Structure 1
Amino acid sequence: MDLQILPLAITMMAGPQIVAAVVLVTTARPVRVSLAFLLGVAFATTLGVAIARRIFGLLGSVVAPGSPSDRGAFETVLQLVLVGLLVVVAVKNYVKRETVEPPKWLGSLMRAGPYRAFMTGLLIILAMPSDIVVMLTVGASLRQHGAGLVSAVPFIAATVLIAALPLLVYLLFRKRARRAMPRVREWLTTHSWAVNIAACLIFIVLILSP
């Protein structure tokens, strides 16, 4: 599978996704709700990649015509469109950085139980446009190389590992983490625009890299 796995996984969790993971470790039951969140992320990522692979399998000759020159032209146009959209999103986040507010559902996660945490992990992957683009990229690569879903396991595992970083920090540095995590949560919440811009830039580099 010809993918830069780790950067793609970082992009999957950049933005509200990692903020949600940090919020959950500051709740009354951090371990239980965080594990439920990670289960949701793992299930959503696996499902998303499987659907993306199936989509490109059904499109077949439409997405990847027989002529190599046609494939090259299609890929170039797709790259330019994706880069253009990401630039627009990055600029929009920068322009509105003073007025941007965190999603209201992030605050409600402080009272989340395991079921709510699982559903958050599920929807935060399947409903996030940037994550959909990444999973489509992975699915297209699987079809292009004739690989099965098993080949995407490193990507799925890396995504879950990054989502698990706040919980791992909490488990390793209990008292320090309890003091630090609320401040980290506050910074990520108030600087979500910067996190979103960073995610866009990472993905732009991935798209344009040979």
Structure 2
Amino acid sequence: MIGRRGLEGQAVVDLQILPLAVTMMAGPQIVAAVILVTTARPVRVSLAFLLGVAVATAAGVALARGLCGLLGQVVSPGSPADRGSAASVVQLVLVGLLALVAVKNVVKRRTVEPPKWLGALMEAGPRKALTTGLLIILLMPSDIVVMLTVGANLEQHRAGLAAALPFIAATVLIAALPLLGYLLLGDRARRAMPRLREWLATHSWVVNAAACLIFIVLILTP
């Protein structure tokens, strides 16, 4: 009986945190994946990038889960009905900050430029792609927030890292979409990827604002 309830609880955790995988790759993260597909060795560097993303996401979630376990109720999401809980206040602050970032991207859309390191990926080899996959997850503020959210969710449900495996797999799958398109669509994808890369580079504000709005929706959705 206890085992059955444990499995049901783990399934609930999976469904709640799975959509957060979308925000993990929204922004420069997916742009980097597209750029790597347009390099001279697209498959090798993309696979190295995906390995970095997988390792960084798993390590980040594990670290967040451990941190939330140490801090206990201080960072626990608490009961959704408890509007005065610390978690509710944190959620409202996050929503406010994300809204400000989204508005800033829209207002300054004509002057927003992609990070210079994205352009350097055109000459990336497998080692640099692996390092990029690691750092783009572990150092990206939006991804840190997502992984902390996942860690707090796991702590709330007393679930282990295994419950986050679908989230980790979904994050890697989204990161792999440019490579999958390249492999499955053949010449059409090879012709489209450079154009997509240029569009993402010049419209990074759209991706960033969309990532903020998606995360706001996910935070506010019960």
Q: TM-score range by the shorter chain?
A: over 0.9
CA shift for structure 1 position 178 = 1.1
Q: Say whether 1:138 aligns with 2:163.
A: no
CA-CA distance at 1:8 after TM superposition:
0.8
Say if 2:158 is the partner of 1:126: no
CA distance in 2, matches of 1:206, 1:52: 19
- The 4+ residue runs of structure 1 with deviation greater than 6 A are 65-71
Quickly say closer, same or farther: Cα 1:66–1:41, change in 2 above 3 A: closer
1:155 aligned residue: 167
Deviation at 1:34, TM superposition (A): 0.1
1:10 corresponds to: 22
Distance (whole Å) between structure 1 residues aligned to residue 78 and residue 36 of structure 2: 48
Kept after mapping to 2: 8 A contact 1:5/1:158: no
From 82, 94, 103, the counterpart of 1:91: 103
Q: Which runs of 5+ in 2 are unaligned?
A: 1-12
Q: Indicate conservation of the 8 Å contact 2:137/2:144, yes or no.
A: yes
Q: Does 1:165 align with 2:177?
A: yes
CA distance in 1 between counterparts of 2:176 and 2:205 reads 22
TM-score, normalised to structure 1, is 0.95
Q: For 1:167 and 1:68, locate their aligned partners in 2 and report how far apart those are by CA, in whole Å.
A: 39
Candidates 109, 123, 129, aligned match of 1:111: 123
RMSD over equivalenced CA pairs, Å:
1.9
Aligned pairs for 1:60-79 (under 5 A) are 60-64=72-76, 73-79=85-91
In structure 1, distance between residues paired with 2:97 and 2:128:
31
* Percent identity of equivalent pairs: 79
- What SS is found at the alignment partner of 1:28? coil
Cα deviation digits, residues 24-50 of structure 1 (max 9, x gap): 000000000000000000000000000
Return the TM-score normalized by structure 2.
0.90
For residues 70 and 113 of structure 1, do their structure 2 counterparts lie closer, same or farther at Cα, with a shift above 3 Å needed? same
Paired position in structure 2 for 1:46: 58
* 1:64–1:71 CA contact under 8 A, matched in 2: no
